[in-house]
């Protein structure tokens, strides 16, 4: 599947509205250089794979490509039995969540392929362009993606993108079990919250990908919420990215299932 031509992306950018700018900013990661602000893609069906482009230069985003090349190298070396794949929420395991990561997953030789600002299109492009090299056979892939599509795509289109990613993982590494996570809730209040409502629709659709054989769906979103649906600042300070407490909640929620799947 081919990426969109550069000239088409640049032309489309001239008519983008602010709502289409990337929703997801990289989580603080003291040990890593923050990625450049990604260039937003034009509205499109999320099964169309695409690179990320710089708003300043119109060229492929250097930070995105550097992270991608790093992950391709890891994949070619065949490193990692447990793969985390996603956007900046996943990338944050290397920042705010690094201590939780070390104590929760180190026994499984984990690798983190998260990039801030990624939409379903970007993850699909990445795994179609080397991040699932033939030599890379993780036993389990923890996948969560889609929150950055909220501003420009329908729930159905976002779910279609997630489905395409799952299908591609299954094709490239059929023995890998996929722990597919519902997209986490975002925004402080439960209502009115159109973004959270859209993601609930996405999660309802992708939950049907569960087959208890190759794909295992989990929705742990409520574990981050208060009884009234509020997303606490002491768990997700910006109402999107977990802090260390939030990452601990995440780890505690999935560790029993990972223990089962990694056997």
Query: Over 90: is that where the pLDDT of 57 sits?
Result: no
Distance between CA atoms of residues 83 and 177, nearest Å: 10
* Separation between Cα atoms, residue 210 and residue 151, nearest integer Å: 26
Average pLDDT over residues 184-201: 97
pLDDT digits (tens, 9 = 90+) for 212-251: 999 999 999 999 999 999 999 999 999 999 999 999 999 9
Confidence of residue 56 (pLDDT cuts 50, 70, 90): confident
Q: What percent of the chain has pLDDT over 70?
A: 81
- Identify the pLDDT of residue 59: 81
* pLDDT of 182 higher than 70: yes
Instruction: Assess if residue 64 is contained within a domain.
Output: yes
What 3-state DSSP class applies to 84?
strand
Q: Is residue 215 part of a domain?
A: yes
pLDDT at 51: 80
Asked, for residue 1, whether it belongs to a domain, the answer is: no
What burial class does residue 138 get, using C-beta atoms within 10 Å of its C-beta: 0-12 exposed, 13-18 middle, 19+ buried?
buried
Tokens 């600042």 label which residue?
A: 233
Band of residue 45 on the pLDDT scale cut at 50, 70, 90: low
Residue 145 maps to which CATH number?
3.40.50.1110
Q: Do the beta carbons of residue 202 and residue 148 sit within 8 Å? A: no
In terms of residue numbers, what domain contains 26?
6-261
pLDDT, mean over the chain: 85
Residue 25 lies in a domain: yes
Separation between Cα atoms, residue 41 and residue 25, nearest integer Å: 15
Stretch (H or E) spanning 141: strand 140-144
Do 88 and 27 meet the contact criterion of CB atoms below 8 Å apart?
yes
Catalytic residues: 88, 238, 241
The answer, yes or no, to whether residue 190 has pLDDT greater than 90, is yes
Q: Is residue 82 part of a domain?
A: yes
Say whether the peptide bond before residue 192 is cis (omega within 30 degrees of 0): yes
pLDDT number for residue 41: 43
Q: pLDDT over 90 for what percent of the chain?
A: 76
CA–CA separation, 71 and 101 (whole Å): 18
Compute how many other C-beta atoms are within 10 angstroms of the C-beta atom of residue 13.
16
Residue 155 lies inside a defined structural domain of this protein: yes
Question: How far is Cα 112 from Cα 102, in angstroms, rounded to an integer?
Answer: 12
Q: Please indicate, yes or no, if residue 147 is contained in any of the structural domains.
A: yes
200 confidence band (pLDDT: 50, 70, 90)? very high
Q: How many DSSP H helices and E strands does the chain contain?
A: 8, 7
Domains identified in the chain, total number: 1
Q: Which residue has the higher pLDDT, 20 or 85?
A: 85
């Amino acid at each position: 599947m081919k990426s969109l031509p550069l000239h088409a992306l640049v032309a489309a950018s001239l008519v983008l509205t602010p709502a289409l700018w990337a929703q997801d900013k990289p989580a603080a990661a003291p040990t890593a250089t923050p990625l450049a602000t990604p260039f937003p893609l034009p509205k499109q069906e999320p099964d169309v794979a695409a690179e990320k482009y710089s708003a300043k230069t119109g060229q492929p985003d250097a930070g995105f490509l550097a992270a991608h090349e790093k992950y391709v190298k890891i994949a070619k070396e065949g490193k990692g039995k447990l793969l985390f794949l996603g956007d900046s929420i996943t990338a944050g395991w290397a920042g705010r969540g690094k201590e939780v990561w070390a104590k929760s997953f180190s026994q499984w030789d984990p690798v983190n392929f998260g990039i801030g600002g990624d939409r379903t299109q970007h993850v699909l492009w990445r795994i179609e362009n080397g991040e699932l090299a033939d030599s890379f056979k993780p036993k389990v892939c923890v996948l969560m993606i889609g929150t950055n599509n909220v501003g420009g795509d329908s729930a159905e289109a976002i779910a279609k993108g997630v489905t395409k990613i799952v299908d591609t993982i299954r094709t490239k590494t059929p023995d890998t079990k996929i722990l597919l996570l519902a997209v986490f809730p975002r925004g402080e209040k439960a209502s009115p919250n159109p973004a959270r409502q859209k993601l609930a629709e996405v999660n309802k659709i992708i939950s049907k990908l569960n087959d208890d054989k190759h794909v295992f769906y989990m929705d742990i979103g409520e574990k981050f919420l208060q009884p009234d649906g509020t997303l606490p600042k002491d768990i997700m300070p910006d109402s999107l990215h977990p802090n260390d407490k939030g990452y601990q909640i995440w780890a505690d929620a999935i560790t029993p299932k990972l223990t089962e799947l990694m056997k």
